[in-house]
Chains A and B, each alone.
Chain A
Amino acid sequence: MADISPQGTGSDKMRNDGGIGAMKKIQLKEIAYARSGDKGDVSDIGLMAKDDKAYRIIKEKVTAEKVKDHFRNIVKGDVVRYDMDTLNSLEFVMYKALGGGATRTLAMDQTGKAFGPNLLRMEIEVED
């Protein structure tokens, strides 16, 4: 991933507000694992941070709104997040996510098994 230059708007704001160092963009796959599956038309993604620091980052950055936006062309319903602090993990429950469910969807990934890896594409900004 290309670093965002220190002159970029996002990092400038951070620097002015909190005196934090330069920011860079990373993909979630660098700091987390994921597994996903289905129940009817609902798909769940479990996002597991690789360590404590990564968990603090995903807890702050990977909001339900951000996940809903990430899957905006796939998931038609709400996205709800549940935090699992003792497992350093977040659970995302996505409604109307599977084209009516495994038995009637036209999609090849009938059960949302690839939604987890897909979430790991998401880019977030972290301190460099």
Chain B
Amino acid sequence: MKKIRLGCGSASWGDMLDPAVELVEKGEIDYLGFDHLAELTMSILQRMKNKDPKRGYIPDFIPWMEAILPKAKQKGIRMCTNAGGANPEQAAKDVLLLAKKLGLSGLKVGVVTGDDVFHRLEEFRKRGVKLPNLDTGEEDIDSIYDRIVAAHVYIGSESIVEALSKGAELVITGRASDNAMYVGPMVYELGWKMDDWEKMGTAVTVGHIIECSAGCAGGMSNFWKEIKEPWRVAFPIAEMYQDGRAIITKADGSGRMVTEWTVKEHLVYEIHDPKKYLMPDATADFSKIRVREVAKDRVEVTGIGGTKRPDNLKLTIGYKDGWIGESEISVCWPDAYEKAKFCEEFLRGRFKARNLSIEDVRFDYIGINSIHGPLSKMPENRQDINEVRVRVAAKTKTKEDANQVRREVTHLWTHGPVGTTAVISPPPPREVIGLWPTLVPRELVPTKCEMMEV
């Protein structure tokens, strides 16, 4: 029975490079997929492109390709990446220049576009598409309309399949779904029909399992204590069989582990309704999924179902939504907790006295309650607390006020309690990009693929 081996080379912008290189060298893979995009990433990339039309794709893309492309080309490993972000055409042009420099003549690159609908929003509205906010239920997009900076639709794998069938060795997309990087090659290689919903549900689910790189191989794991050499991170491989059975594994001799538990950990991650895992290529159903360890670092996944793909695609609109200013400072024993309270009172009073345009403010006592918030358990003997790091974050209307928030924290160095210290250079004020998730009918968002060659 035909099978293919697909490796995952990245889960996000800024992921680790060497486990991806290890997969190319030792993974015996046929395909390598890369996901670099998170919800916020698209807005950041769009704004990079607005400033400079030659930017707007993932900046890591070119150095990564420099490290991977020659070996991948030599071994015949084909790659799919959404590193194109807000500017896949430019990413393709630049990687072709790189390939030329590396002497990789004849390299075929496919570029998938159609996801960027920033200039089409007015057209959608004229067609009667309402664009309500799925998170808040707000119907009226007029409230943010003049502050929109980016609008990208999560697209599926149709144009990736087309690019592969035209011989692409590297497919570059914009906001294609994470799992499309794997669904595309599975469909193309295993001859699955794109309306065979059980197979498509399987492709989407297996793509989901591996798309978060080490997420199914000991990353973010409850089983972290079992990891012997934490620095040896391994990225996963899906061995996909034509009948829909999959084995999740990793390169021989690589670090960490793939177990029934590490795969399960990722199956329950960020999925919402397990009977209706909505993705552009299918609605996956893993309510009857079976996960079984068949050998060391080999986990079999079966029993995945699927139903028709959704008629609407998810559209994420990013819009300007004020500023955040934040900073931190440390207080120490004795009376560290009480000193932290003093700092909070100082800052609240200063913000008021300066009349800053604060819409929301939050104080965290790092070491006490910064992560579990009101559910944190207070240490039994407050007098024994060695230190507290006081952190404040405030949402403001203006950049100037966000900047003033961090300046006021610095004043605690000299105007706070004895021993207040560890002033760092605070992060610069950051502009908030609010996200407006909505839906758009699939037929309004055709995608296309263009082929380029060195």
On A, residues with C-beta under 8 Å from B are: 33-42, 44, 46-48, 70-71, 73-74, 82, 84-87, 89, 91, 93, 95-96, 100-104, 106-109, 113-114, 117-118, 121
Contacts and interface: CB of A to CB of B under 8 A. Distances in A.
B393 A104 contact: no
Contacts of A117: 372
Contact of A103 (B40, B222, B267, B391): B40
B365 to A, nearest CB: 11
B135 A41 contact: yes
Contact of B435 (A44, A48, A101, A106): A101
Contact of A86 (B43, B289, B326): B289
B135 A42 contact: yes
B227 interface: no
Nearest to B360: A106
Contact of A114 (B43, B266, B372): B372
A106 B394 contact: yes
Contacts of B270: 37-39, 44
Given A40-B437, A121-B372, 12 more contacts: A48-B222, A74-B374, A85-B287, A87-B268, A87-B291, A89-B267, A89-B268, A91-B271, A101-B434, A103-B39, A104-B434, A106-B362
Contacts of B318: 103
B318 to A, nearest CB: 8
Given A40-B437, A103-B434, A84 B286 contact: yes
B195 interface: no
Nearest to A84: B274
A108 B222 contact: no
The 8 closest A-B pairs by CB, nearest first: A46-B268, A33-B222, A106-B362, A73-B374, A37-B270, A106-B393, A103-B40, A41-B135
Interface in B392-446: 393-395, 432-435, 437
A97 to B, nearest CB: 10
A96 B434 CA distance: 14
Q: State which size class the interface on B falls in.
A: 35 or more
A121 B222 contact: no
Given A40-B435, A74-B374, A114-B372, A104 B321 contact: yes
Interface in B119-177: 134-136
Nearest to B38: A102
A74 B40 contact: no
27 contacts: A33-B261, A35-B265, A36-B269, A44-B269, A44-B271, A46-B267, A48-B261, A74-B373, A74-B374, A82-B275, A84-B268, A86-B290, A91-B272, A91-B274, A101-B435, A102-B40, A103-B39, A104-B432, A104-B433, A106-B360, A106-B362, A107-B362, A107-B373, A108-B366, A108-B370, A117-B372, A118-B371
Contacts of A91: 268, 271-274
A103 B433 CA distance: 6
Determine the main DSSP class of B at the interface with A: mixed
A112 B326 CA distance: 19
A93 B275 CA distance: 13
Nearest to B220: A35
Nearest to A29: B222
A42 B272 CA distance: 9
B271 A118 contact: no
A20 B432 CA distance: 55
A106 B358 CA distance: 12
Contacts of B393: 106
A44 B266 CA distance: 12
Interface in B282-336: 286-291, 303, 318, 321, 324, 326
A52 B261 CA distance: 14
A73 B373 contact: yes
